[in-house]
Amino acid sequence: MSASAPVLLGYGTRPLPFPSGVPARVLAAPPAPAVADLPAALDAALAHPEGARPLQEVAGPRTRVLVIVSDASRDEPRAELFAAVRRALAVVPDDHLTVGVANGTHGPGPLAALGLPEDVFRRHRVVNHDARDEASMVEMGRTSRGTRLRVNRCVAESDLVVTTGRVKPHYFAGWGGGAKGIFPGLGHDDDIRQNHKLKADPASSLGRADGNPCREDLEEAIRRLGRDTYMLNVVEAGGVVLGAVAGDVVYAHRAGVRMARPWCEVAAEPADVVVVSAPLPVSGSLYQASKLVPPAGMLLREGGVVIVCAECPGGVGPLRTVNEGIFQLGVRRFLPERYALLLVSGMPETTVRETYATFAPSLDAALASAREIVGKAEPDVLVLPDAGDLVPRRR
């Protein structure tokens, strides 16, 4: 579609207007039908799980249960997800249910940022996972690809592990959600990074769930835990919840992918300049905003320019991880051989200069630089206002 109507880019604490005088195509997901009653949808998913028995039949009063919620870097309805699991596990006493926060490599954050009711923290043991805390880890074996599997002790101490989250596009695991809440969510820092090395494989790609080495490795890891594992995920597209899936961490996840795919896959002609953005929390740091580059690269012509618009109030993130572990290992392969990448953010030029991106003081300045780089007075510009929700395909 054309950018004749005003276009607001997700940017950070407030939207960033795209310049009205710049001709551009806008690529967005089709308007998705939001679920009318989220608690009812969650209850229905739990009552009709994929590849598993209903939770009520799995757990009893003596079952030790671990319920995993995502950290605050993901915008998920954690309170509603937890409440639905708790309703299904009403027979389990409070002291038999532990809440685990899947921080992965991010490190423990404030519990208040999770949006869970205060009584959750009063009634249940809470484990705010630290992937670098050796004393909290238990050895659980290795995958067939050689990934060592150490997880938080709370996993080993549980009979039943229920992971919550959301299914949406992910640039190297194919789609988020599913097993990811358990591992890497509660994994050891070194083991997570070992799994993430598989992002260099071209098959570990955006929108690919089956035949994806990275996802296959982490799903194998979950099977090796020797615990009953279960998932409850919302399915998201275009910033709205389409529905929910529950059950086996693989079968239910794929059901969620099938639900999301028609609302996330979009096709477009490649462009000289691709502008990408996303609302918070994706635009909160370059660590998170880097995941916007693969959708841009998939639609960028040789010698073109990617403009990432992300305010980054949280800064870059761990610099070496961002430059090497994220960009060079996983993101760079989505870009053509010749490209330029400009970053419009709230960070100073001295900070951006240390990253893989090139500083741009404003979106207007970035577009002017892009015109010079591609050598066209009016380059073909494509805008993805919420690139993190898209699985692009070239026409």
pLDDT at 199 over 90: yes
Residue 184, preceding peptide bond in cis (omega within 30° of 0):
yes
Please report the pLDDT score of residue 4 as a whole number: 52
Q: Given 196, 229, 263, which residue is the final one in a domain? A: 263
Instruction: Give the end of a domain, one of 216, 238, 263.
Output: 263
- Are residues 101 and 18 part of one domain? no
Share of the chain above pLDDT 70, in %: 99
| pLDDT at residue 1 greater than cutoff 80 | no
Helix (H) or strand (E) segment spanning residue 368: helix 363-374
If asked whether residues 289 and 223 sit together in one domain, one would say: no
Q: Do 84 and 134 sit in the same domain of this protein? A: yes
Average pLDDT on 310-334 reads 95
Backbone angles phi, psi at 365, to 5 degrees: -65, -40
Average pLDDT (324-346) is 96
pLDDT at 2: 47
Q: Are 244 and 35 in contact (CB under 8 A)?
A: yes
Residue 144 has pLDDT above 60, yes or no: yes
- Do both 132 and 187 map to the same domain? yes
Instruction: Please report whether residue 2 resides in a domain.
Output: no
Whether residue 315 is found in the same domain as residue 381: yes
pLDDT of 29 strictly over 50:
yes
Supply the CATH number for residue 356's domain: 3.90.226.30
217-226 pLDDT, tens digit per residue, is 999 999 999 9
Q: Quick one: average pLDDT of 96-115?
A: 94
Average pLDDT over residues 181-206: 95
**Cβ atoms of 193 and 105 closer than 8 Å:** yes
Mean pLDDT along residues 209-224: 96
Residue of 274, 297, 303, 252 whose CA lies nearest to 48: 252
Same domain? 246 vs 283: no
Assess if residue 195 is contained within a domain: yes
For range 201-216, the mean pLDDT:
96
Task: Answer for the pair 287, 319: CB distance below 8 angstroms, yes or no.
Answer: no
Mean pLDDT of 104-130: 94
Residue 3 within a domain: no
Number of domains composing the chain: 2
User: Is the bond preceding 281 in cis, omega lying within 30 degrees of 0?
Assistant: yes
Q: What is the mean pLDDT of residues 235-258?
A: 96
- Residue 199 inside a domain? The answer is yes
Question: Are 276 and 158 in a shared domain?
Answer: no
Lay out the sheet containing 25-26: strands in order across. Answer: 25-26, 381-384, 271-277, 300-309, 339-344, 358-360
Q: Tell me how far apart the alpha carbons of residues 132 and 89 are, in angstroms, rounded to a whole number.
A: 31
Indicate if the pLDDT at residue 343 is higher than 70.
yes
Q: Which domain holds residue 383?
A: 8-30+269-394
Q: What is the pLDDT of residue 157?
A: 96
Q: Give the helix/strand (H/E) hosting 275.
A: strand 271-277
User: Euclidean distance between the first and final Cα of the chain, in Å?
Assistant: 14
CA–CA distance, 58 with 110 (Å, rounded to integer)? 32
* Residue 47 maps to a domain: yes
Range of weakest confidence among 235-239, 318-322, 323-327, 369-373: 235-239
* Helical axes 78-88 vs 38-47, angle rounded to 10°: 40
Question: Which tens digit of pLDDT belongs to each residue from 166-180?
Answer: 999 999 999 999 999
CATH number at residue 241: 3.40.50.11440
Examine the domain organization and report whether 258 and 283 are in the same domain: no
Answer yes or no: do 276 and 152 share one domain. no
Which residues, including other chains, have CB under 8 Å from residue 257's CB and lie 6 or more apart? 167, 174, 175, 209
Same domain, 110 and 24: no
Predicted local distance difference test score (pLDDT) of residue 5:
61
Task: Identify the domain boundary among 230, 248, 263.
Answer: 263
Q: What is the pLDDT of residues 278-307, one digit of tens each?
A: 999 999 999 999 999 999 999 999 999 999
List Cβ neighbours of 119 (8 Å cut-off, separation of 6 or more).
none
Same domain, 71 and 217: yes
Mean confidence (pLDDT) of the chain: 95
Same domain, yes or no, for 115 and 98? yes
